[in-house]
Amino acid sequence: MSLPFEQQSNRPNIVFILTDDLGYADLSCYGSETIKTPNLDRLASEGIRFTNFHQSSAQCTPSRASILTGCYPQRVDLEGVLLPKHTKGLNPDETTVASCLKQSGYATALFGKWHLGHHLEHLPTHHGFDRFYGIPYSNNMFPRVVFSDLEIVEENFDQASLTRRFTDASIDWIEEQGDTPFFLNLWHPMPHMPLAASPEFQGTSNFGLYGDVVQELDHHVGRLLDYLEKSGKADNTLVIFSSDNGPWQPKSVPDPNEGGSAYPFRGHKANEFEGGLRVPCIARWPGKIPANACSDTFWTGMDFLQTLCQITNSTLPVDCQFDGFEASNILCGKGESPYDFFFYYHYNQLNGVRSGDWKLMLPMTNRDEHYFYYQTDEAEARKVIGDPEELSIPLSLFDLKNDPSETTNQIDAYPEIADRLLNAIETMRLDLGDARIDSLGSNRRSALSVEPIKQR
């Protein structure tokens, strides 16, 4: 019988692999028939696959902020996608999972895409990471630069080389740590558009360039797993794999084979239907997580901070408010969801709430035209349904247990459930606000804003 986490002297290494815009159904272990991912399938067969894991947001910056801070992105003032023109980023005063683990003796590193502020004051080495090698924001943003810690070391990088290079850097860094416990974050820029695959992977899938890119990602996940095995570290390493949000909107994809799939869920990146936030999540930890397990328990990216601190016996500050939970039992295939309510924001607009299997979505108008794309049907996923000027979504209640594709509005059949969820929304508006009523709430903390470099 294994010891409780706090009694273990041999604390686990942690490898956290995050992809960008990977859809729920884009891995063969999640149902893809056109993209082959044998290494991620192996990871799932040796560990646990989660079918009800969600990020806190359907967009890059806010979901990453939640992963690191354990909070809704609105609480840390990073509710929207940061662009090169923006001057704010993650505040160094925020507690992050990296800062907690570093304080408890872990070596910490992030390789790949950051996207929590690109000014020097915002970069990972100010947030608990000993080492950063990667790009400051999405691969479609300019200028295209690579940082090594706080220094730009490359401009106009080769997109097709990034997956391999960040994997190489990760393996080299692990090798350098010797017997020191480590927390490695490998946050791949792919399969965010523009897509790019190495020559040896081009044409290897049955789903065009997108499939080629995902199969290349899988290959390099396999390289990292093989290294852990050969180096003798695999048995004491927790490996987590996930995506920051769902796949691109169909209207943004010029070719059906250049975008991912959230099947069978409705929605996609940048909206709050299931396809935007429900993403693949796989974890392996020999001796702690049962092999070939599958869990449908609801949990989120906000839970990583407290969960990883628990399993590494790292100390959390007592005066910091978190929105996520300690979910080590769920990670290990046991326990129930800790959430009474989970709230869906788009930037600062509160769009819905979930409690158990019930999900309430607030009305949407034609200005929210990205809501009118569907992933529930292969043919419909690639086109706009009707004229957005004529479309609207009423107040809607969905039973996710029996209708995970969110096709049937149950608002008239269960008014008492809708009322309970509406009351929860009113309470949340007092806490974190809602742009619908021009409120920012009363419990938000500030991001760090800096002067643009040219003004210094």
pLDDT digits (tens, 9 = 90+) for 2-59: 434 554 568 999 999 999 999 999 999 999 999 999 999 999 999 999 999 999 999 9
Distance between CA 297 and CA 232 in Å, rounded?
32
Q: Using 50, 70 and 90 to split pLDDT, how confident is the model at 267?
A: confident
Distance between CA 337 and CA 334 in Å, rounded?
10
Statement: 11-340 belongs to CATH 1.10.540.10: no
**Would residue 281 show up in a list of annotated catalytic residues for this protein?**
no
DSSP string spanning 311-345? HTTPPPPTT---SS---HHHHTT-S----S-EEEE
> How much of the chain exceeds pLDDT 90, in percent?
86
> Which one of 54, 86, 115, 127 is the catalytic residue?
115
Higher pLDDT, 165 or 390: 165
**Which pLDDT tens digit goes with each residue over 74-99?**
999 999 999 999 999 999 999 999 99
Higher pLDDT, 276 or 5: 276
Pick the CATH number of 343-448 from 3.30.1120.10, 3.40.605.10, 3.20.20.70, 3.40.50.300: 3.30.1120.10
Indicate if the alpha-carbon torsion angle 436, 438, 440, 446 is positive or negative. Answer: positive
Q: What is the pTM of this model?
A: 0.94
Please say if the pLDDT value at position 67 is more than 60. Answer: yes
Q: CA distances (Å), 26 to each of 246, 260, 408, 435, in order?
A: 10, 6, 25, 33
Are 316 and 402 spatial neighbours (Cβ–Cβ below 8 Å)? no
> Which one of 54, 60, 122, 219 is the catalytic residue?
60
**Would residue 127 show up in a list of annotated catalytic residues for this protein?**
no
Are 395 and 422 spatial neighbours (Cβ–Cβ below 8 Å)? no
327-357 CB burial, b ≥16 within 10 A, e <16: bbebbbbeeebbbeebbbbbebbbbbbbeee
Q: Write down the residue that tokens 């019930």 correspond to.
A: 358
Please say if the pLDDT value at position 408 is more than 60. Answer: yes
The angle at the Cα of 322, spanning 319 to 323, to the nearest 5 degrees, equals: 155
pLDDT at position 387, please? Answer: 42
Please say if the pLDDT value at position 402 is more than 60. Answer: yes
Q: Using 50, 70 and 90 to split pLDDT, how confident is the model at 372?
A: very low
Q: Using 50, 70 and 90 to split pLDDT, how confident is the model at 390?
A: very low
Domain chopping of the chain, boundaries = 11-340, 343-448
